[in-house]
Each structure stands twice: as C-alpha cells, then as structure tokens.
Amino acid sequence: MNTLACIKRVPETGAKIVLTDDNQAIDTTSLGFTISPHEECGVEEAVQLAEETGGTATVLTLGSPEADEQLRTGIAMGADEAIHLETDGEQWGPRATASAIAEGIEAADESFDLLFFGNESADQENYQVGVRVAHTLGLPIVTGIKNVEIDGDTVVAEREISGGTEVFELPIPAVLTVKEGLNSPRYPSMRSKMQARRAEVATATPERSEANDVEMIELETPERDDSPAEVLGEGPEAAEDVVAVLEELEVI
C-alpha cells in the first residue's frame, strides 16, 4: 500500500504570538518552524502502513523553499519519497492550495492508496484543503480521524464524538484528515536525520490558481490572561507556602 502524507511548515510559537506590523503574518524572527501536530500523526500513520504492507510512504508539502526542512523531517520519520510544491512563501488560500496539491498528486510517479491530511493546519485552520483535494480527485473522505485500520480493500476510520465514536468504512483509495492522538509520532534518530539530509526531494513549481479563494484580511491576537504563575515548591515542603498564599487570599 502506497501512502501519502501532506504537511505544512508552520511557526513553532510560544504562549504569546507576535504579529508583524501589518498584522498580515506571525513575526517569526525568533521562532523555529515545525510540522503541524495533526500532520505529524499523518506522517507516522502513513509510514507505519507502508512499512506493514511493504509499500512506500511519501510526504508532500506546498510552501517556501525553506519547507524543505519539514519534508526532510518527514523522511527522517521514515517516509521514502518527498514532493515539494515550491512557492514564493506567500500564504495561499485553501482553494489554490488544494488545487495545486491535487495536481501534484496526479502528476506524481506513484499512485496513492491512502492520503493523509491534518484535520486543520496549525496556523491558518481553514479545515478544507483535505476535503477539496478529495473532491478534485474524486475520492471518498472522512475528517477528524483518530484511529485507522486496514481491512482488505477498505479502510476503517474512527472519529471521536461526544459520548462515543463514529466508525466509517471507505473503499481504498481514500482521503483521511487526522487529528493529534491518532498515534505517537516517532522522533527521528540521528542516523535517519543524516540520511534524510542526503535524500532527494522531487520539486515542482505550481501556478497559483486565480480562482476566488478565502482571503485573510488581518490577524488578531486573542486576549490573554497575563496573571503570573509561580511555582511555590514541590512535595510536602511546599505546603507551608501554599497555606501562606491561601491565607493571603483570605480563602482560609
């Protein structure tokens, strides 16, 4: 079984997010970048299934030349191939993104049995790239998946809902958008990191679709609770300090 995991390079932010002066992007001057956590699970699942079935796992991204770093992380996590749909680094809307990814998938040397997307990206959270790609490719899709089993020519996917679980059966090939908790993504090892640095990445430069797309007007940072937290201590020794604070607050 050949699998594909689509990933996105996103900034690794702390508790407080700083925006650029024009409120159009996150100020990443002092930040690192990572793969959205949902997508890390997608990569792990893609790799595991390929390993179990003797197929190949491919990682794909649409993004700036720097997103190569995330593709190589995917390779270090066990993916066999990588496809980079290179852009100038501008944020593309979900429609343009999905259209370019669908084309990239169709143009790939391999055909994929299962295609994994994150349920939503960690930065833009449009919740629709996976759905749009599935639609374009004419494949069945379920979203928000936290468990995946293969049963012959079908995939059984489970979604957690309040008070229970929804179970879906889809004919393969299919698209799944997955959520954190699906599995525990592996950390790359030093050796796999080294190998990944030397791996080849297939690169294409897609045209950005001119079609109407979701347009981001401006980013806003949410109100934050800035009240400070202080660790008073650990274990029984902390009890005295805790009591002192409770007394100060006049709750005892």
Partner 1 sequence: MSEKSVPQQAHTVIIGAGIVGTSLAYHLADQGRDDIVLVDKGPFPDPGGSTGHASNFVFPIENNKEMALTTQEAMRQYKSEDLYTTSGGIEVARTEDRLDEFERQLDSAAAWGNEAEIISPAEVKEKVPYINEDLVTGGFWEPNAGVVDPLRFGEIKRKAAESMGALQSFANTEVTNIQTENGEVTTVVTDRGSIDCEEVVIAAGLWSPKFAKMAGTEIPLTPAVHQLISVGPIDELEETGEEVGYPIVRDVDTQMYERPSGNDMEVGSYEHRPILWDVEDVPSNEEAALSPTQPPLTEDAFEPSMEHALELMPDVLGDAEIRHAIDGLLSVTPDGMPVVGPLRDVDGLWSCAAIWIKEAPAFAKYTAQWMTRGYPDVDLHQSDVNRFDGYGTSKAFVENRANEGFQKIYDIVHPAEQWQSSRPLRQSGFYDRQADLGAEFFESAGWERPQWFESNADLLETYADEIESLERPYEWDNRWWSEIILAEHLHMRDNVGMIGDMGFGIFDLVGDDVEAFTQKMAVGRTDVPVGKSVYTPILDPSGGFRSDLTMVRLADDAYRVITGGGEVGPDKRWFRNHMDDMDVRLIDKTSALGTLGVWGPNARDLVDSVAEEDMSDEAFPAYTAQEVTIGEVDAWAFRVSYVGELGWELYAPMEQAGRLWDVIYEAGEEYDVRPVGMGVYGTTGRMEKGYRLYGHELELEYNAAEAGLTFHGVKDADFIGKEAYAEAIEEENAATLCTLSVTDHESSDGVRRFPLGHQPILSPEGEILEDEEGRRSYVTSAGTAPSLGKHLLMAYLPQEYAEEGQDLQVSYMGDTYPVTVERVGSKPLFDPENERIFS
Name the residues that contact partner 1, by CB under 8 A.
Answer: 12-18, 29-34, 69, 186-191, 193-194, 197, 224, 227-231, 245, 248-249
- CB-based contacts of 151: which residues, under 8 Å, 6+ apart? 169
Q: State the nearest-atom distance from the C-beta of 12 to partner 1, in Å.
A: 5
Cα–Cα distance between 80 and 104 in angstroms, integer?
A: 17
In the complex with partner 1, the residue whose CB is nearer, 146 or 193, is: 193
Q: Is 119 exposed, middle or buried (0-12, 13-18, 19+ CB in 10 A)?
A: buried
Q: Are 110 and 79 in contact (CB under 8 A)?
A: no
Strands of 202-204's sheet in order across: 164-171, 154-161, 141-151, 174-178, 114-118, 3-7, 57-63, 81-86, 202-204
Nearer to partner 1 (CB atom), residue 212 or residue 227? 227
Helix 68-76 × helix 190-198 angle, to 10°: 130
* Residue nearer to partner 1 on the CB measure, 73 or 99: 73
Contact 232, 242 (CB under 8 A): yes
Q: Closest CB to partner 1 among 153 and 240?
A: 240
Least separation, in Å, of the C-beta of 70 and partner 1? 11
The distance of closest approach from Cβ of residue 123 to partner 1 in the complex, given in angstroms and rounded to an integer, is: 14
| Cβ-based nearer residue to partner 1, 68 or 160 | 68
Q: Tell me the closest approach of the beta carbon of residue 86 to partner 1, in angstroms.
A: 18
In angstroms, what is the minimal distance from the CB of 77 to partner 1? Answer: 10
Strands 164-171 and 154-161: antiparallel
3-state secondary structure (DSSP) of residue 163: coil
Which H helix or E strand runs over 213? none
Nearest-approach distance from CB 156 to partner 1, in angstroms: 29
CB nearer to partner 1: pick between 162 and 224: 224
